[in-house]
Amino acid sequence: MRWTILGAGAIGALFASQLKRIGEQVTLFDARKSQPSPLKLTLTTLDQQAIEQEFVYETDLTLPETDVLLVTTKVWQVIPALTPLTGKLSTTCTIVLLHNGMGTTDWVLSRFSENPIIAGVTSAGALKTTKHHVQHTGFGETWLGPLNEQAKQSTPIIPTLNTAMGHADWSDQIKERQWQKLVINAVINPLTALLNEPNGTLLSHQSQVRQLCEEVAPLLAKEGIDQTAEQLFTTVMAVAERTAKNYSSMQQDIAHQRKTEIDFITGYLLQKANEHQLALPQHHELYLKIKEREQAFTH
């Protein structure tokens, strides 16, 4: 299959490298670049092999050579990055949304109404140490679910991703998995960013983690997601433990004075809570604190 990766951050670079490693045709896309030179990238695999590869940039907005467009940008870049492709992208191209946060799907479904659209959630671990090096830091599962009728035919994607990443499968509960990941990110990311600590620090902040899970559980119930506060707490703590030495993406964004994904993580939770007339005061407080930090360097 022919893949184009939109957003060569840690996860995008990992998927690009792992797909190329198994012989897939992989290009990168960045609408802001006109004729960029190929990107040299070294992948360090889970078994510590170093694999050097070179990726060319696709610049034709129809992506004529692409079967699957994998969107791995920061969530706030999704709409600006896809906008130049609207009305141009070949309608046979499958779009896979594999980013943190929620709140982009309605826009993508309406602008690319003829394309197969898939939502994905991955727990694969990746670290981009430089522009030219990505490390596969942890095995993770990748779950995909169709967001429209056309996407139900896109099955060849699964075995290919499964071979490349060690796991990929269809999920008929993709909405539940997206919400679960949203809660993981809404708890781990702002807390670790504000504490300026790796994820494992939350093992000694369990009561705050529990309170945040208890506060958000009624919202998930309103959204039809069958997850108790206790289940959410167990899931969040398991991720914090499994990724104890890793720094969350929001900790890294704040530490490097970059815009964070808070609007599409906690901001999305607050917006949904508002629609259901629920209050999330502790999540709101985290939101305000991150916005305050972010505004200190984005203005």
Catalytic residue positions, numbered = 181
Within 219-248, the residues that bind ligand KPL by CB under 6 A are: 239, 243, 246, 248
Alpha-carbon separation of residue 167 from 38, 146, 248 (angstroms): 29, 18, 22
Single-letter amino acid code for the residue at 106: D
Q: Is 199 in the site for ligand KPL (CB under 6 A)?
A: yes
**Choice between 193 and 273, CB closer to ligand KPL:** 193
Q: Is the dihedral of CA 235, 175, 264, 32 positive or negative?
A: positive
* Count of residues that bind ligand KPL according to CB under 6 A: 11
**Contact between 2 and 67 (Cβ < 8 Å):** yes
Candidate segments 1-9, 84-92, 181-189, 273-281, binder of ligand KPL by CB under 6 A: 181-189
Q: Is 249 in the site for ligand KPL (CB under 6 A)?
A: yes
**Choice between 101 and 145, CB closer to ligand KPL:** 101
Q: How many whole angstroms separate alpha carbon 3 and alpha carbon 157? A: 10
Q: Is 184 in the site for ligand KPL (CB under 6 A)?
A: yes
Binding mask 71-100 for ligand KPL (x = CB under 6 A): -----------------------------x
Please identify which residue in 98, 188, 209, 273 interacts with ligand KPL, judged by CB under 6 A.
188
Three-state DSSP at 75 gives helix
Candidate segments 16-24, 79-87, 184-192, 207-215, binder of ligand KPL by CB under 6 A: 184-192
Q: Is 262 in the site for ligand KPL (CB under 6 A)?
A: no
Residue 11 CB, nearest approach to ligand KPL (Å) = 9
Q: Is 124 in the site for ligand KPL (CB under 6 A)?
A: no
Here the tokens at position 142 are 């990748």
**Choice between 6 and 85, CB closer to ligand KPL:** 6
**Choice between 118 and 239, CB closer to ligand KPL:** 239
Query: Which residues are CB-contacts of 74 (< 8 A; sequence separation ≥ 6)?
Result: 7, 9, 99, 100, 259, 261
- Smallest Cα–Cα separation from 141: which of 238, 227, 20, 228? 238
Residue 239 CB, nearest approach to ligand KPL (Å) = 5
- Laid out side by side, the sheet with 142-146 consists of 57-58, 25-29, 2-6, 68-71, 94-97, 117-122, 142-146, 169-170
**Contact between 243 and 252 (Cβ < 8 Å):** no
| Binding-site ranges for ligand KPL (CB under 6 A) | 100, 184-185, 188-189, 199, 239, 243, 246, 248-249
